Structure 1
């Protein structure tokens, strides 16, 4: 009888210990500090990716509801895969438990707000535009209609904008023989500085100078780089920041 009582007590201790540890951050090594999670987030759960959003219980929810939950600073996304499908599941973090948790939640919320803003453009008509690139070629809504329009907003001193240029050049080369796609970059800088910069740095997009007003006031973007894919009918298909990561995927998707 004593053995049975002791065994029963030990079983209860183990059971409640399991409950106290279940779904706790220590089960995820990437939650040990902020940089570990940021690395995990960037490599596994970019919010501009195609994924199936799940709530905390594992039920499918809308992408908007998923991002809204992240923006409230209660959850982080955890990547799961099953049968070749990618799921992002909401995982609750106790924001008061540690400064690391608070830092992680705040950062995720900021990314979620950016993605919510990007999503709000999808399906909208691309604004009226009429521009000359550095070589004097004109681009407007009429002569780009019937073509996929790929735009990048940037400026010379934006490190991320410049760093991704070699990858963008490779993407342009892949589609070089297609006449139904236009790669156009809108820069904040003036013509003189752009020509000087591009004489030393190869960038295979057509480039338009002095586009601060169009980018910030007409388009409403204030983060760089921002990439926009516009359909052949002139409607915005997708907006995202990381061109190297997402542009090949979405071009393959929309150019099928």
Structure 2
């Protein structure tokens, strides 16, 4: 091969690499249909997890920027691990305009929108509150200072809220000797309905009734369950929806 041809080939390789073509399509088995990818996503790449975000070329990027890219419906996150660290790398999927890919991209964008909203709370002060639980105990911003506040929003007819309760009870049991951790649930339902329900279904969080306005208007949450971890100084540390998946990890992280 002539020197001129080698030179032209090298220039072409650099050109393609610069525009991200090294992230060429792969035969990932989980992309064969929507259910396969959704299973992969739920088991491997929950966006509330603690991961290192990478762009299409493998460069580290800000988490918020990573989520914003996913919202544009061009890329999906692919999980990678190296030296004990977990990375999510952007993988471009919009090159193939198949119905399956469009459904995958749309769903990932919806998850990304939820996560971007959750991230917007981090670092902000938890709103002013003053509530009584079903046992008559009072909680407010002052008497919960110097405690890690672990909150869950829920309502009786929320299947996901009820399904995770046994896992939440195990976590409460694990921290029962920690006086600096308070588990408090904010429920939409009235006290009578909650007392009737909790007489049959064990839930070890302290429960506060009639919190729909506070949850939806003050906090701005419309999906259930939503979990919030608040620091001892009253700042929101983390917000997520899957308590069973994320709460054990983040409590360990924040209580170090």
TM-score by length of structure 2 reads 0.90
Question: Shift of residue 96 of structure 1?
Answer: 5.5
Inter-CA distance 109–94: structure 2 relative to 1 (3 Å threshold): same
Change (3 A) 1:90 1:22: closer
Cα distance in 2 for residues equivalent to 1:208 and 1:98 = 48
What is the aligned partner in structure 2 of residue 23 from structure 1? 24
Secondary structure of residue in 1 paired with 2:151:
strand
Q: Tell me what 1:7 maps to.
A: none
RMSD of aligned alpha carbons: 1.3
Q: Deviations over 1:83-116 (max 9, x none)?
A: 0110000001127521110110000000001000
Q: C-alpha separation between the residues in 1 aligned to 2:219 and 2:95?
A: 35
> Runs ≥4 in structure 1, deviation > 4 angstroms?
none
Structure 2: tracts of 5 or more residues without a match: 1-20
Scaled by the length of structure 1, the TM-score of the pair is 0.90
**Distance in 1 of aligned mates of 2:24 and 2:172:** 44
Q: Structure 2 CA distance, aligned partners of 1:101 and 1:47?
A: 19
Separation in structure 1 between the aligned mates of residue 101 and residue 221 of structure 2, nearest angstrom: 29
Partner Cα separation in structure 2 for residue 125 and residue 191 of structure 1: 28
Alignment of 1:98-247 (within 5 A): 98-247=98-247
Deviations 1:30-85 (A, max 9, x none): 01010100000000000001100000011111001100000000000000000011
Is residue 95–residue 105 contact of structure 1 (8 Å, CA) maintained in 2? no
The 1-side partners of 2:96 and 2:84 are apart by 36
Unaligned runs of 5+ residues in structure 1 are 1-19
